[in-house]
A = this chain, B = another copy of it.
Amino acid sequence: MNSEEKMDELFQVIAKRHSYRGEFKNEPVDPEHLKKIVQAGIDAPSGCNAQTTRFVIVTEPKLLAEISNYFENRAVCKTAKAMIVCVTDSTPAYGNVSFAREDCAAAVENILLAISALGYATVWYQGYVQKDQTAEKIAELLNVPNNLHVEVVLPIGVPITQEPPRPKKSFAERAFFNRYGAK
């Protein structure tokens, strides 16, 4: 396999990845796969290499059920066989600036690609987690220290249905050569 073919594998995973909000099959997520998925998050870059994101890999059915409760038992949460809870440390990395949000998002993107490549599916819950003290409730449930923050929850499983990716704007609407608005 030459390097152009290798490239295509990456681009296929990137293009194929999309959010999944349906039910999951009653099949487990391989624990070795969970480790590889989280390692992809660990391998992501971070501002000043501060590595501010931590990951709690939830597989205990009782904990999964409690977290699902905080999401009003949405199908994708209620049937998830695992969840990755991303925890951030917003201690400044550079002057008084924290890149914790960027660090977490870059790690989540790697994790989404890994999940998709391994045949699982997920959806990126962040805004929802920051409402109604959900982040604080999950932090308490998972013994997350007070100086850290529960930022993102990713429910994982084997998808039942093939949901199509949501429509995206075209290249020409979002990318320009040399000057904004130019073709």
Contact = CB atoms under 8 A, between A and B. Distances in A.
A27 interface: no
A56 to B, nearest CB: 5
B118 A7 contact: yes
A181 interface: yes
Contacts of A176: 54-57
Interface string A1-12: 101001101110
Nearest to A97: B127
A47 interface: yes
Query: How many of these chains are in the complex?
Result: 2
A22 interface: no
Given A51-B168, A51-B169, A114 B40 contact: no
Chain A contact residues (Cβ within 8 angstroms of B): what range?
35 or more
A83 B56 CA distance: 36
Contact of A177 (B9, B57, B103): B57
Contacts of A143: 179-182
B3 A174 contact: no
A163 interface: no
B142 A126 contact: no
Contacts of A35: 171, 175
A169 B57 CA distance: 17
A153 B55 CA distance: 28
Nearest to A47: B127
Given A11-B114, A42-B169, A56-B178, 20 more contacts: A7-B114, A7-B118, A11-B36, A14-B43, A15-B39, A43-B168, A45-B112, A47-B127, A54-B180, A55-B174, A93-B127, A102-B105, A102-B108, A102-B126, A103-B105, A109-B109, A110-B113, A142-B179, A144-B180, A148-B180
